[in-house]
Chain A
C-alpha cells in the first residue's frame, strides 16, 4: 500500500519556519508570538546547574543524521524530512570521516538516523564498516521504508546479519492515531514491516535482536508513563497483530520545525510551551541525551543533539566540523541551550532512548 502524505515539508512550502533563525525568534517571543517564557538556562540554574550551563558527561553515542530524504512527511517531523529533500544526503567523503573518528576514539555506539537513513546510497556499506570496527549500531528505521520498494524488503535480514539494533516510530497501536500523524497507510505498512522484522528474529526471545518502538503523542499533549504505555502497546500489538517488540520509548514532541508549525497553525503554541514549562522536572536535566551524544549532520557539522542540528545551533568551544573533531575538546564544551530544551526536561524527561528518569 502506498502512503498518502499528510503534509509537505516546510522547505517545499517555502514556509518562513524553514529558516531556523526565524524558529528561534518564535521560541524567544520575538516573532509570531510575543509571549516570552522564562529562559531555559534560568530554569536549570535553579535546578542546581552553576551559571545555567550544561556540560557533557562522556560521549558514548555518535549519532549520524545521514540526510533529510524520507518516504514519509510526518506532521510533527523535527527534521522537516520528506521525499522532496533529495539534496541533503551525506557524501561518501563525510562517511569516511565518521569512520576515521570512530576508529580513533572509544565511542561505543553509532546511532544512524535521518530522514529514512536506508535511502542514502552509502547506508549499508557504512553499517558494515561500523560493525567491522566493533561498534554497536543502532538504526532509526521508520518501518514503512522496508515495504516501500522491493530493494528495501531484505532490510530485516540485513539488520539481523549485522546485529543492528532497530528503533522505530509507532506513535500508536491504533491506525487512525498513527496515520493522523504519519500519513494515511503508514500504520498498515508499519505492521507489515514489523511482521517481517519479527520473522527475522527481531523482538523474539533469545535471538538478541532488538526492536524498540518509539511512542510520541499524536497531538498537543505530553506523553504519559512510559512503562504503562509499553504494557498497553505490548498487549494490543500482540492481541491485534501478533507482533512482539522489546521496549517502548516515550518521547515528547519538540516545539520546533513542523511541530512548531502545527502548534502555530492550530493556535496551540503558547499552551504547549506552557505545558512543557509546567512539567519542567529538575531531576530530568542530568539525564538529557546531549550530555553523552554528539550529533553529526549530513554535511559533516557537529551538534549537541539532533534538535540543535535542526535549529542549526552548532557546537561551541570546539571545532564545528568532522574535519576538526577532537573528543577531548568536545567533552569539555558548554552545551548550546535554548527554549526548545524544555521539551527534553518535561515530566519524566525525553531523549532518543525515551524517558530519562
Chain B
C-alpha cells in the first residue's frame, strides 16, 4: 500500500477515474448524478444542503468537503449549513431513541 492513511483530499479529484475500470456504468452514474443536482422542484442550494446533511450521515469526508464548497457556491450561509447537519444528527439520534420503545416494551414484558 502506497499510503499510510485512508483518506486523502487529493483523491477526490480522481473520482472521475473510476470510469477507467468500468466506463459504461461510470458514465451512467455521472450523467445521472449531474441530472440529480440540477435546479428542479428543489433549488440547487436546497439540494446542496440535503447532500451536506447526508454526507455527515454517511460520514464521507470527500462528500463533506465537496458539499461544504457546493453549499457556499450556491449561496447558503453557515447558519443554514449547520441547521442541515443538525437535521441529519436529529434523525440519527431519533432513530436510536425510537428503538427505546422496543426496550421499554421488552422490559415491561420481563419486569414485575
Contacts and interface: CB of A to CB of B under 8 A. Distances in A.
Contact of A177 (B45, B73, B74, B77): B77
Interface of B is mostly: helix
A233 interface: yes
B27 interface: no
A172 B24 CA distance: 41
Contacts of A218: 72
A106 interface: no
Contacts of B44: 224-225, 228
A217 B72 contact: yes
B100 interface: no
A134 B73 CA distance: 39
B69 interface: yes
B73 A221 contact: yes
A176 B72 CA distance: 13
A77 B70 CA distance: 24
Nearest to A231: B43
A217 B72 CA distance: 8
Nearest to B74: A224
How many of chain B's residues touch chain A, expressed as a range? 10 to 19
A229 B75 contact: yes
A223 interface: yes
B83 interface: no
B74 A228 contact: yes
Contact of B73 (A172, A176, A224, A233): A224
Contacts of A177: 77-78
Contacts of A224: 44-45, 73-75
Nearest to A232: B75
Nearest to A233: B75
A222 interface: yes
Interface in B56-91: 69, 72-75, 77-79
A176 B45 CA distance: 19
Interface string A230-258: 01110000000000000000000000000
Given A232-B43, A232-B45, A176 B77 contact: yes
A137 B111 CA distance: 83
Interface string A268-280: 0000000000000
A238 to B, nearest CB: 15
A173 B79 CA distance: 12
A215 B72 contact: no
Given A217-B73, A221-B73, A176 B43 contact: no
Contacts of B73: 217, 221-224
Interface string A205-218: 00000000001011
A215 B73 CA distance: 11
A46 interface: no
Contacts of A60: none
B77 A225 contact: no
Interface of A: 172-174, 176-177, 215, 217-219, 221-225, 228-229, 231-233
